Amino acid sequence: MEKCPRAWALKYGFNRKFSGTFNRHLINISDWSSPWRLMQRALRGVIIDRLDLHSKGKSWPEDDLAMRIRHRIIGALERQRTTVKLVELRLGDSSKLRVEIENEEINRLVEIACYRFHSAVKSEPIASILRGDIVEWFTCSRLEKTKLDRWDLHVAPDIVWRQGRNWHLLKLTVQGTAIPVKHRRLETNAMVLWGLFRTGMPAMANRFVVETLTWNRGRWRHWSEHASNRLVDDATMLIKSDMQAMTDLYLKMGDSCDLSQLPLAEQRRTCRNCGHIDTCPGGEDLQRGRLEQSALEMAKASSE
């Protein structure tokens, strides 16, 4: 939302408005990711796979790691190719989303992901889980929904475990960007909402510990903090204000879905990783797009 309200609204705001094939295309375009981002997703996927096999008592075929990561990256690139073809059909031209990736580049991404994987399984709490020091634990799907008023939130943690009387909720972040502590606190305390609504979990915020395991500057960094009612309330308020902002944006577009009413990104680098780059004025020339948009808004305000 902060990086680009337009991309955010296109990704999350149309689920109710449209259904069927059009909505699927929009989701696929919004989900478009660079090969680097696909490597990060593949890495997260194999870490969760590793834990899931361990929970079933199955052995992990160590030799398969590179192949598993490669399959995930190539599979995702293949699925994106279909999306790009559809975009090009609509454009009648070639898309900026088309990536021709050499085999050596895929090898490089696989190597990076393998290195980070080996480092992750030696990091806490994953190492303790694999050693059997943490016995009561499970992984969660990010698709799990938590109801807040009329909204369905995706705030589930990735790994959950119990130690003593506390439940630990961990978010695995493979993106490598350092988040300011204030943001991290609010983001992670949103996971407590998931815990509070789950059967068998405590009904008090202070029985949860929120944690992150983040790849940043060459290593995994583990952060943890006790949740509190105040922090969970702050996180809830933030979510509600984001949802309200989404509703306002949605109303601003009107029934004709006037996308020109949606503010564009702040920075050009946000557009470089965006699936809407071909059809959005920000993707063409962000500076000019922003200027045109504010001129339109002024003209509209003066005619009201």
- Tell me which residue of 32, 30, 34 sits closest to 10, measured CA to CA: 30
Q: Which is nearer to ligand SF4, 49 or 88 (CB)?
A: 88
Q: Taking contact as CB under 6 A, which single stretch among the options 2-10, 21-29, 39-47, 250-258 is the one that binds ligand SF4? A: 2-10
Q: Which is nearer to ligand SF4, 7 or 210 (CB)?
A: 7
Q: Taking contact as CB under 6 A, which single stretch among the options 3-11, 18-26, 158-166, 197-205 is the one that binds ligand SF4? A: 3-11
Q: Taking contact as CB under 6 A, which single stretch among the options 4-12, 36-44, 116-124, 215-223 is the one that binds ligand SF4? A: 4-12
CA-based max dimension of the chain: 69
The residue at minimum Cβ distance from ligand SF4 is 282
Contact at 8 Å (CB) between 261 and 254?
yes
Report in angstroms how near the CB of residue 276 gets to ligand SF4 at its nearest: 4
Measured distance CA(1)–CA(17) in Å, rounded: 19
Q: Which is nearer to ligand SF4, 4 or 156 (CB)?
A: 4
Contact at 8 Å (CB) between 236 and 251?
no
Q: Tell which one of 7, 97, 191, 213 touches ligand SF4 (CB under 6 A).
A: 7
Strands in 65-122 per DSSP E:
none
Window 258 to 297, contacts with ligand SF4 (CB under 6 A): 264-265, 270-271, 274, 276-277, 280, 282-283
Q: Tell which one of 6, 50, 54, 116 touches ligand SF4 (CB under 6 A).
A: 6
- The CA-to-CA distance between both ends of the chain, in Å, stands at 28
Structure-token match 């680009």, residue found: 4
- How many residues lie near ligand SF4 (CB under 6 A)? 13
- Phi, psi angles (nearest 5°) of residue 214: -125, 135
Contact at 8 Å (CB) between 216 and 177?
yes
Report in angstroms how near the CB of residue 57 gets to ligand SF4 at its nearest: 45
Long-range contacts of 146-155 (CB under 8 A, 24+ apart): 146/193, 146/194, 146/197, 147/197, 148/193, 148/236, 148/239, 148/240, 149/240, 151/239, 151/243, 153/190, 153/193, 153/194, 153/239, 155/190, 155/191, 155/193, 155/194, 155/239
Residue 44 contacts ligand SF4 per CB under 6 A: no
Binding mask 217-256 for ligand SF4 (x = CB under 6 A): ----------------------------------------
- Tell me which residue of 69, 78, 71 sits closest to 28, measured CA to CA: 78
Interface residues toward ligand SF4, by CB under 6 A: 4, 6-7, 264-265, 270-271, 274, 276-277, 280, 282-283
